[in-house]
Structures are given as C-alpha cells and as structure tokens.
Amino acid sequence: MTPTNGEGAEPPHIVVLDGGFSTQLSCHVGHVIDGDPLWSARFLYTHPEEVVNTHLDFLRAGADLIITNTYQASVEGFVEHLGITAEESFELIVRAVELAKRARSAYLEEYQDYLQNDRIPLIVGSVGPYGAHLHDGSEYDGSYADTTPVETMKAWHRPRIQALVQAGVDLLALETIPCQEEAEMLCDLLREFPHMKAWVSFSCKDNQSIAHGESFQKVAKKCWETNPDQLVAVGVNCCAPSFVSNLVKGFNDDRPHDPIPLIVYPNSGEKYNPQIGWIDRDKCEAVEVFVQEWLELGVRYVGGCCRTYAADVSRIRNQVHCWRDRWRFQAKYPYAQNNNAE
C-alpha cells in the first residue's frame, strides 16, 4: 500500500511487537524451556528477575509493547503444577503484569533522555488458548473445541482475564487461537470488561486456514463484527512467515475506506519436532525479509512469535523504518515511482 496523489506525506503508524518470550528467556535461564506443562509461565514463580530482564531485552530492541508471560498461565495450571492455592495462582498472574511494568519503568528511566512522550511502551496481557493448559498438543489443531463446551472454556478464561485487567494491562492479546468457537467466545467474554481493548490472533495451519480448519479471513472478519468497539486488530501469530502474505492478502478489499487493522507475528519458520525440538532453522528466511511486503498488504502491527529473539525485533523495526521512509519519498515524489516503472 503506497501513497497516491492527494494523500498526506506521513505514513500509517506501525506498532512493533516483541518476540518469542520463552525463546529470549532461555538466554537468561541457560536452558531450553519447551516441554514444561507451564512452559515459560513457571518462571514467574521461580525466576522473576529473568522475566523482567527478558521484557527489557525486547524494549531495548525497539518493541513498542511487551506481552506478559501469561500465555500458558491459569489458576488451575498453577494449582496443579506449582502446588499453590487458587488465590496464590490468581496473584501470580497479577505478578506477571507487575514484572512487565517493572521492566517498562526500568527502560523509561534508562532512556529518559532519548524518548518522546508518545514512546511509552504498552503492557499487553497474553491470553493463550484453552488447549494450552491441556498439554496434549490439542492447542495446535483446536481439536479440544469439538468436545469442550463453550461455557467450560469461558469459565477457564474468565479469572485469568480478570487478573490481567485488575493488574492494569493496557491491552489484551487473545492470541494463538486455533478455532472459531473459542475466538467468538473470547470476543463475547471481552464485553464483561467494557473498558478493555484487545486484539485476536489465530494460529494457522496453512496459507488459508486457521489450525482447526476454518477460513482465517471469514473467522477474523466475523470476530471483528462481533465486537468492533473493543478489538483493535485481528490477525495471525505462531505460524510460518511464508503463510502470512496469502492469509492477509485482499483482507480489506471489501472495505477500502474503513479497513480492519491487521496484526501478524509469526514464528521464525522453524519446525517443532517433539522428539528433538526445533529444526530447519537454516532452511528459513528471516522474518524481517517479509516485513515490508506485509506492510504493503495493510498490516499495522508486526512482530515475532516462537523462536524469534530480541535481535529479530530490532531487525523488524529497521524494516518498518525503511518502509515508512519509502512511503514518505513516494508521497513527496510520486512521479519518481512512475518513471522507474517505465
């Protein structure tokens, strides 16, 4: 999407997200985190300082927001795997937000002489799918939605969202959602927190479908229409970067004057093998290679998910800067592009 005659010279605002929390956290704790039933959420309890430092890594790399370490956090999960009470589990989710706020405060103090007032990073509360706490792989295909009543999922999500909102997050990330039923339920549940806004992003199995098999574009648009007042964006995460362009291409063709904001934060492109871990990194194109193409397609929030580090966030931010500079140039010299095309 490039400017045409009559458009202003200032490009659209692009929000740079952080990267894979557990991936960057592993740099601080010294070992791989995959396979734990609580995943990185365990470290809220065991290594809180490393959680703060991980958030700081992303802020220093140029992230405009940081996502709390609560993707796999739930009251039931903490009770079962940490042996703490339900009340303590609720407070541990609150603590995740407090740790993110500590990182933000440290960052703002560290860079106080360089930051503008509009560069205050947001704290975003991660709300992962119901299937994540089952620890049976069903979060990757959404099959749990075929046997789990919607009200059961809603009752599981409600206290974790309550904790995040109570702790003062700026925004919620309803993320890595694999199935339509859960996504629509979350958009409806959001109404119980009328002053809170959120994005909803889906895990996708190919370049057309979310993990459970439904059409990404149809489901995402339906979610937006369900709660347009509280959603700030819809999109995809935790998928291969090579899928993204086709997933979002043409998304807003039917509403050119009122486009739905799009968010994408895919994995590195590596594949996960349960027996040996992540493989094929040498076969992947880096996420930043795709960034300018995604921005042309209307993406307005961009970052990384699994296996992306703070260094990747820095490179993503550089690509955003390059795209914005190109936009300004084309707005100022619209004929230069036409002459080059000839």
* Binding-site residue positions for Zn(2+): 238, 305-306
Which positions ≥6 away from 201 have C-beta within 8 Å? 173, 174, 175, 176, 177, 233, 234, 235, 236, 237, 263, 264, 265
Q: Are 18 and 63 in contact (CB under 8 A)?
A: yes
SS3 260: coil
Give the N- to C-terminal CA distance of the chain in Å, as an integer.
19
CA 56 to chain centre: 17
β-partners of residue 39 are none
Q: Which two tokens stand for residue 312?
A: 């990747």
What is the rounded CA–CA span in Å between residue 286 and residue 157? Answer: 34
Strands 277-279 and 271-273: what pairing? Answer: antiparallel
Binding residues: 238, 305-306
SS3 54: helix
Residues 44, 317, 236, 99, Cα dihedral to 10°: 10
